[in-house]
A = this chain, B = another copy of it.
């Protein structure tokens, strides 16, 4: 699975048009459109509320307390990428701050998703550089051990291949395999298409029990009403 000491330069990024379409949907919608899979664990939280991004994954594999490979990753970023950083063991250190954010943005990155900690969050917020992380920590890191860039990684419980589409918002982070980007965008669009109508009916007081025709199934399952 993991390969250490490797930087893959030429990765196959997901189709840009499909990614742009996915960018219109929230993480929950995309995750449902995938068949309720592909979600990173909910301990990943945005460092500030309201960010919503989609981008293609550049992956980084780090060791605990060592952010050396973040600099190596910077060179592989292309416009529209989201850097996805995994660590070989649990760690909350601050691997990323305002200098790296400045560099990542200059290379074209839209966001960072990291299964560890970040720092300088006030600066990152002021810059509007969104980060989803496991922790916020001032703890610095060293540069001593090789990891890898653009290898498959497991980040917050989800498998990420370089080039996959990442969709992230206040609800979390979802991974769409590059090969499924277009069909997932279709499914997400179909899902949202009739939500407006449902919302209006529910707002008007129609019950989900009736709108979704659940009463009979519930009765068959044995639901009893008592007074």
Chain A residues with a Cβ under 8 A of chain B: 1-2, 4-10, 26-28, 31-32, 35-39, 41-42, 45, 48-50, 52, 63-66, 68, 70-72, 74-75, 88-94, 97-100, 102-103, 105-107, 117, 119-122, 125, 135-140, 142-146, 152, 154, 157-159, 161, 169-172, 174-175, 177, 195, 198-199, 202-205, 207-209, 212, 214, 218, 221-227
Contact = CB atoms under 8 A, between A and B. Distances in A.
Nearest to A104: B202
A226 B135 CA distance: 32
A143 B214 contact: yes
A202 B39 contact: no
Contact of A103 (B36, B68, B159, B208): B208
A227 B102 CA distance: 27
A9 B225 contact: yes
Which of A31, A39, A107, A208: most chain B Cβ within 10 A?
A208
A71 B7 CA distance: 33
Contacts of A102: 199, 202-203
